[in-house]
């Protein structure tokens, strides 16, 4: 049967439209696309953080809210309201590439076991931590030393030594875990309050290697009444050696000549100590 021209054109038009839909993968109708667009607008956008897009990301100062940055918090709450990591971060100023300064502060405190460990660490020890160069290590040590000296500069806050245990409690945190022998001197006023805690010699304690006069140089400058000498044994055994006793005798004799009383000589090893005065060795 012959199809009229107008009907044939109609069929050809719809066949062509059907072929285009098949080729396009059955594209959705305008109404369904509109519904999906409205639904998408109702859903909140997904928040992606820097950690999501970069697993190796470390929080930088610029990523911290302005009011929570260490320097800004210092101005808001004062130094007493700051944590140790925040105060250390201010001192460090910035971290190494890829790490924030807060991460670096945490790493230092963790590596050395807190501020006491940082105070014991040498400049070379600090430089082993990523991002800490020579200048930054010196700045850390200088700041800690200033804090320590401030305690001794205020008479009412100076530690008072009444027993060998008092002196040991003051010295063990600094000397107990040293890997090399050091000789330190506590300088005391007439009420046995500590004027200074000075490292005067590093190396094995023996009369040949150490000049006894060096122990009294600061004592004379400070015009102190008495001193307590201490040295450490890195081996962990605080038992005094024969050389320790002989050096103690020389120190006590020099003190009598200089009119500076030597109250005691402590040998410190890890968290233990021995008082040569209590043992009657060299006194």
The enclosing domain of 183 has a CATH number of 3.40.140.10
pLDDT of residue 115: 85
Question: Do the bridges between strand 226-232 and strand 261-269 make them parallel or antiparallel, or are there none, so unpaired?
Answer: parallel
How many angstroms separate the CA atoms of 255 and 215, rounded?
10
Rg, C-alpha atoms of the chain: 37
Residues 86, 176, single domain; the answer is: no
DSSP 115-165: HHHHHHS-HHHHHTSTT--HHHHHHHHHHHHHHHHHHHHSGGGS-B--SHH
Predicted model pTM: 0.58
Last residue of a domain, one of 103, 130, 153: 153
Residues 184, 73, single domain; the answer is: no
User: Does residue 76 lie in a domain region?
Assistant: yes
User: Does residue 26 lie in a domain region?
Assistant: no
Residues 193, 117, single domain; the answer is: no
pLDDT of residue 142: 92
Domain span including residue 142: 57-153
Residues 134, 248, single domain; the answer is: no
Residues 147, 169, single domain; the answer is: no
Residues 159, 274, single domain; the answer is: yes
Number of domains in the chain: 2
pLDDT in tens, 53-96: 444 445 555 556 554 677 888 888 888 888 888 999 999 988 88
CB of 277 closer than 8 Å to CB of 164: yes
User: Does residue 52 lie in a domain region?
Assistant: no
Residues 212, 260, single domain; the answer is: yes
pLDDT in tens, 89-133: 999 988 888 888 888 999 999 999 888 888 888 899 999 999 999
CB of 125 closer than 8 Å to CB of 132: no
Last residue of a domain, one of 153, 168, 192: 153
Residues 107, 190, single domain; the answer is: no
Residues 183, 145, single domain; the answer is: no
User: Does residue 249 lie in a domain region?
Assistant: yes
Residues 192, 83, single domain; the answer is: no
Beta-bridged to residue 231, according to DSSP, are 183, 267
Last residue of a domain, one of 153, 176, 205: 153
How many angstroms separate the CA atoms of 179 and 175, rounded?
9
By C-alpha distance, which of 222, 157, 234, 235 is closest to 190? 222
User: Does residue 227 lie in a domain region?
Assistant: yes
By C-alpha distance, which of 170, 279, 179, 189 is closest to 230? 170
Residues 269, 183, single domain; the answer is: yes
User: Does residue 37 lie in a domain region?
Assistant: no
| Mean pLDDT (10-residue bins), the chain, 283 residues | 51 58 51 55 47 45 58 84 89 86 91 86 91 93 84 74 95 86 94 92 68 90 95 94 94 95 96 95 94
Residues 213, 117, single domain; the answer is: no
Q: What is the CATH number of the domain that holds 117?
A: 1.10.150
User: Does residue 51 lie in a domain region?
Assistant: no
Question: Do the bridges between strand 194-202 and strand 226-232 make them parallel or antiparallel, or are there none, so unpaired?
Answer: unpaired
User: Does residue 3 lie in a domain region?
Assistant: no
How many angstroms separate the CA atoms of 190 and 28, rounded?
96
């Amino acid at each position: 049967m012959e199809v009229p021209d107008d009907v044939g054109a109609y069929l050809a038009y719809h066949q062509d439209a059907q072929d285009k839909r098949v080729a396009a993968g059955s594209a959705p109708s305008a109404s369904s696309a509109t519904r999906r667009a409205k639904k998408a607008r109702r859903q909140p956008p997904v928040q992606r953080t820097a950690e999501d897009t970069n697993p190796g990301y470390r929080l930088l100062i610029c990523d911290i809210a302005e009011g929570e940055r260490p320097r800004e918090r210092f101005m808001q709450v004062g130094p007493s309201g700051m944590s140790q990591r925040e105060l250390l971060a201010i001192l460090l100023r910035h971290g190494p590439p890829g790490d924030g300064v807060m991460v670096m502060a945490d790493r230092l405190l963790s590596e050395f076991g807190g501020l006491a460990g940082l105070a014991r660490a040498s400049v070379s020890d600090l430089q082993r931590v990523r991002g800490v160069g020579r200048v930054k290590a010196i700045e850390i040590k200088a700041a800690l030393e200033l804090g320590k000296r401030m305690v001794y500069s205020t008479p009412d806050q100076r530690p008072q030594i009444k027993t060998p245990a008092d002196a040991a409690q003051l010295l063990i945190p600094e000397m107990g875990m040293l890997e090399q022998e050091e000789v330190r001197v506590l300088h005391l006023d007439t009420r046995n309050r500590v004027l200074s805690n000075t490292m005067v010699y590093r190396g094995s304690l023996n009369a040949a290697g150490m000049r006894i006069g060096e122990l009294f140089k600061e004592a004379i400058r400070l015009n102190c009444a008495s001193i307590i000498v201490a040295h450490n044994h890195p081996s962990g055994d605080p038992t005094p050696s024969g050389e320790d006793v002989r050096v103690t005798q020389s120190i006590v004799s020099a003190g009598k000549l200089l009119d500076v009383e030597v109250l005691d000589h402590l040998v410190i090893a890890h968290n233990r100590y021995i008082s040569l005065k209590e043992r009657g060795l060299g006194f």
